[in-house]
């Protein structure tokens, strides 16, 4: 398949949202060039775009890797999501926006989430659960904020992968349903509170004391580290 650098970058972000790309995973230029049917120069441009957006980093003489967000970076992304997403609902309340078409589209999205959960389609399930928040911004008419939220949800998805989130798919889907139910009832303040609670639950489910799978470098470092007990004296 042939793509431009923007499409390649977006495919990487979508794969992060689907939890198909893990924190610390290597992104080889030649492999990506072969996959997308483009030059390594174009791939490098796409990776530089992703670097500017905070998703990849380059390590001298080693290559490109998906970032491993720190706990502080993860908290910052969740905080930004709270400000943006609650602001979207607050503006809808101030504008008196009709919500029938909004809730119809969100219900369709939740049905897709539930279908992926029932079919044990892990990648689609992860993508749709994250994309609910982007969809909410889009149906509320905030396309620019939707783009920002896509990046923020990808960052929090990386954090969830790295720090072994205990927040299950069923819980997320149920909380999405509760948000939409409040919107259907015309109770935007309740929907906003449920949204904030939901983001808080996802954040609270992170376990910073138990980071996810080690990178190859970390595994090697552990393998070659000195033994803790001395054998002096035989």
pLDDT tens digits, 179-197: 999 999 999 999 999 999 9
Q: What is the pLDDT of residue 127?
A: 97
* Nearest residue to 169 (alpha-carbon basis) of 205, 207, 213, 214: 205
Q: Domains plus CATH for the chain? A: 5-68 (1.10.10.10), 71-204 (1.20.120.530)
Average pLDDT, the chain: 89
Task: Answer whether 147's CB lies under 8 Å from 65's CB.
Answer: no
pLDDT tens digits, 44-96: 999 999 999 999 999 988 999 999 999 999 999 999 999 999 999 999 887 77
Mean pLDDT of 34-51: 95
Task: Answer whether 101's CB lies under 8 Å from 162's CB.
Answer: no
Tokens of 44: 């490098």
Mean pLDDT of 101-122: 96
More confident residue, 60 or 155: 155
Q: Where are the alpha helices (DSSP H) in the chain?
A: 5-17, 29-36, 40-52, 71-95, 100-118, 122-139, 143-162, 169-184, 188-204, 216-223
Q: What is the pLDDT of residue 189?
A: 94
pTM for this prediction: 0.85
Query: From CA 174, how far away is CA 86, in angstroms rounded?
Result: 19
pLDDT over 90 percentage in the chain: 80
Mean pLDDT of 204-224: 62
């Amino acid at each position: 398949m042939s793509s431009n650098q923007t499409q390649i970058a977006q495919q990487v972000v979508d794969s992060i949202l689907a939890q198909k790309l893990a924190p610390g995973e290597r992104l080889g230029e030649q492999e990506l060039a072969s996959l997308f049917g483009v030059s390594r120069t174009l791939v490098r441009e796409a990776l530089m775009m992703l670097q500017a957006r905070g998703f990849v980093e380059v390590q001298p003489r080693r290559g490109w890797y998906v970032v491993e967000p720190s706990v502080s970076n993860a908290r910052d992304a969740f905080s930004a999501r709270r400000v943006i997403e609650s602001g979207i609902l607050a503006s809808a309340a101030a504008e008196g926006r009709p919500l029938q078409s909004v809730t119809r589209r969100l219900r369709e999205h939740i049905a897709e989430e539930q279908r992926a959960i029932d079919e044990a389609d892990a990648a689609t399930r992860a993508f749709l659960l994250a994309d609910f928040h982007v969809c909410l911004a889009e149906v509320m008419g905030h396309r620019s904020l939707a783009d920002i939220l896509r990046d923020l949800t990808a960052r929090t998805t990386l954090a969830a992968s790295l720090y072994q989130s205990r927040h299950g798919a069923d819980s997320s889907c149920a909380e999405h349903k509760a948000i939409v139910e409040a919107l259907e009832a015309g109770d935007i303040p309740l929907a906003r509170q449920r949204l904030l609670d939901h983001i808080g639950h996802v954040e609270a489910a992170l376990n910073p004391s138990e980071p996810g799978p080690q990178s190859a470098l970390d595994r090697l470092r552990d393998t070659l580290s000195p033994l803790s007990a001395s054998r002096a004296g035989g």
